[in-house]
Each structure stands twice: as C-alpha cells, then as structure tokens.
Amino acid sequence: MNNKIGRNDLCPCKSGKKYKKCHGNIQDQPVLDPKIPLESAMKKRINESRIKHCIHPNKSECSVNIIRAHSIQNNRILTRIGEKGEVYMVKASPTKIRMKYNFKRVGRSVATTFTGFCGKHDTNLFLPVEVTDYSGTDQQKFMFAYRAFSFEYHKKLEAHNAHKKLGDTKPSLMKSDQYLDLAEGYDLGINDSLRHKGILDDALLNSKYDIIETVEISFDGHATIAVCSGFYLEYDIKGNQLNRLDDPKTIMKILLLNIFPQDDKMHVLFSWLKEDDAMYQGFKDQLLSLSKNEQLQMLNNMIPAYSENTVYNPTFIDAWSEKEKKQYLWRFEGTAMEVLSDTYIKSSLLNKTDYNLFQGIQT
C-alpha cells in the first residue's frame, strides 16, 4: 500500500523541504550498478554508506586519520583464534532469490574492523586491555563493554545511512509504508543508542568505570571462537520477555557480550548499565544458577541468534559435519533476516543444538 503525499506536503525524509522540491523532484535510479557483477555491486553500495568518524567524546584530542579499528583485539585474540593470518566469519552473499549466509575466511587485518575511531583514540583508549592481561578490574570490564557498544553504535549509524541513501537513489520509496517504517525503526534505534552513549561517554571522561554491571564466567580449555557484540536481549533464560522490539515507546536496554581466550581459559563477560539493573537482574540470577554445561548451551543458542560480530577458528569449523554447519547457519540466517519466530529461537536459550561451539572447553 502506498502513502499519498501531496506535492506541498513536507518530504518524508525529514529534510524540512516540501516534497515537490525534495524527493518528489528526483527520478529513480538503479539501486545497484548494472555494469558489474551482483556481489561486487552490493559491496560497492555498502562501501558508499560507510561512515568514517571518531565517536570518542573528546573531539579536541582526535588525530586526523580515521583507522580500521578492531572490535576484537588483533594481537591478543585474533592471533589465537586464527590460522595463517585468517579467521572464519559468517558473511552474507547475494543469490537471485535472497541473501545466503556462509562461513568465509577473512584476513585478521580486516576482521571485526570498523571506522569509528581515529588512530590516536583507538591506540590510547584501549591500552588497559591491549597491553595487559585481563585480570577483571573495573576499568578493563568497562573498556571491553565500551568497545562492544562503540562497534554496535557505529554499525547502526551506517545502517541508517545506507537506508537513507537507498531512498535518495530510489525516491519512489518515500511512498512505501515498509520503507518509512524501517526509517522510523532506525531513528528509534539510534535514539536508544544515544542514551547509552551519553552515559558511557561521561563515565569514560570521568573514569567512572563502575557505572556498568558485569557478570563474568570463565571456563577452562581452549576457546575456538571470540565475540564482541551488543544487542537488545528479547527474552531471558526462562523465556520471559525483556526488551519489546515491537513497542516504539519502550526504551531499549543494551546487553554487551564479550568472549575471548586468555592462557588456557575462556572468559565470558555480560555487561549492562547499572541503571538498567531492574531489567537484567533476573537474567543475572538465572545465568549464575546454571551449571557449566547449561551456561555453554545457552551461549550455543545466544551467539547465532544475537551476535554477527563473531570469529571462529577455521580448522574447528571445517571439522563440523554438513548437518552441524547447516543448523548453525540456519539459526544465524533466520534471526538475521527475521524469518524465524522469536519464540522458537530467542525465547528458548537452553534448547539442545546439533552443533557445539565449545568442544575444547571443560565443564
């Protein structure tokens, strides 16, 4: 169904201009470059939507160069997970029908990177976790959480920018309910992130590292994956609904997840703002009441359902059967493309899975 927009109405893009002088005066253009292969055209489109800026709150100290900052540490983590300079990540490739997700080799130099920090801030800000072993200090927990948030915030900004550029290329979409609903969703998501950013930035500038709550669990053994992600947990371990993504009036509360190896242990950090304790206290209590096996099973379900920013050891994944790969990618793709019911995947975090991300972990 199309929206009826009068020529003298304000343009839905929120430019403040009349529709006839804004998108109503532009002809549709091809969304993808027809002169190059489909996958190359999509990559070109994605690159055109990249945002390069430093999101550190102290702009006066920024260096000129915006770099590809690693959300998962290159030297301390990716070197342990990867092989011959590469890791596996789950990436989408276009087909004639839909996007298809597969494990793909990615070089460590570009894996998990984003253009959200200048060279100076990326180097200096994360020194407490880059050059020092993790020992569980408040500052280290904060820095892991801050980097996970920064990655997710920057990703939201780029997704919003890509959506806006799509409307600029094909202005007829301004009459599409689906396009406008997605635009509203991006706006709401960024507004929620700005609340988190304001609190985290103030804590960063004033060294108030205790403004976040972190639950740490650790396991003996050799980890074959690493995670740096932030998401709105929709259901707790018992299936109770937390964040209501279908309610635009609800203020979303982010959960930040970091998983990384150190020595012969795998560390798992769940973090959130202490002012959001009322929502996540039940999740914390449930998590800590689980056995080690149950905690790992929960992560087996949670990671493909919520975290795109995950790296995998190539040999470990290559050893999986086709059935194991198929089920994992089915869960990953289903939640990424929103084609699976939340009640089937996200509200059942203890469901048995045919794959196991933690075969080298002791319980």
Q: What is the pLDDT of residue 190?
A: 94
If residue 352 lies in a helix (H) or strand (E), which one and from where to where? none
Q: What is the pTM of this model?
A: 0.93
Mean pLDDT of 86-95: 89
Q: Which of 18-32, 40-54, 122-136, 329-343 has the lowest mean pLDDT?
A: 329-343
Give the model's pLDDT for residue 146: 98
260-305 confidence digits (pLDDT tens) = 999 999 999 999 999 999 999 999 999 999 999 999 999 999 999 9
Buried b (16+ CB within 10 A) or exposed e, 22-45: bbbeeeeeeeeeeeeeeeebbeeb
Read off the pLDDT band of 105 (50, 70, 90): very high
pLDDT value, residue 31? 85
Going by pLDDT thresholds of 50, 70 and 90, the confidence category of residue 43 is confident
* pLDDT confidence tier of residue 342, bands split at 50, 70 and 90: low
For residue 252, the model assigns a pLDDT of 94
Tokens of 128: 């407490």
Least confident of 219-223, 226-230, 343-347: 343-347
pLDDT for 268: 98
Which percentage of the chain shows pLDDT scores above 70? 96
**Region 66-92 average pLDDT:** 95
Q: What is the pLDDT of residues 128-167, one digit of tens each?
A: 999 899 999 999 999 999 999 999 999 999 999 999 999 9
Check whether 97 has a pLDDT greater than 80: no
Per-residue pLDDT band at 2 (split at 50, 70, 90) = very low
Sheet of 310-312, strands arranged across: 99-107, 86-94, 310-312, 225-231, 255-262, 265-273, 212-220
Q: Give 82's contacts (C-beta < 8 A, 6+ positions apart).
A: 108, 111, 311, 313, 314
- Reading the block at residue 196, the tokens are 């988190």
Give me the pLDDT at residue 279, please: 96
Local confidence band at 1 (pLDDT 50, 70, 90 cut-offs): very low
Alpha helices in 170-211 (DSSP H): 177-205
CA distance 216 to 112: 22
Extract the runs of DSSP E, i.e. beta strands, from 21-71.
66-70
Average pLDDT over residues 69-94: 94
Distance of CA 152 to the CA centre of its chain: 5
Q: What is the pLDDT of residue 152?
A: 97
According to the model, what pLDDT value does residue 35 have?
A: 87
| Mean pLDDT, all residues of the chain | 92
Residues in CB range of 260: below 8 A, 6 or more apart: 72, 73, 76, 77, 134, 223, 226, 227, 266, 267
Rounded to whole angstroms, the Cα distance separating 145 from 257 reads 7
- Give the containing element (helix H, strand E) for 231: strand 225-231
Does residue 19 or residue 295 have the better pLDDT?
295
> What is the per-residue pLDDT for 38?
77
Instruction: Assign 343 a pLDDT band (cuts: 50, 70, 90).
Output: low
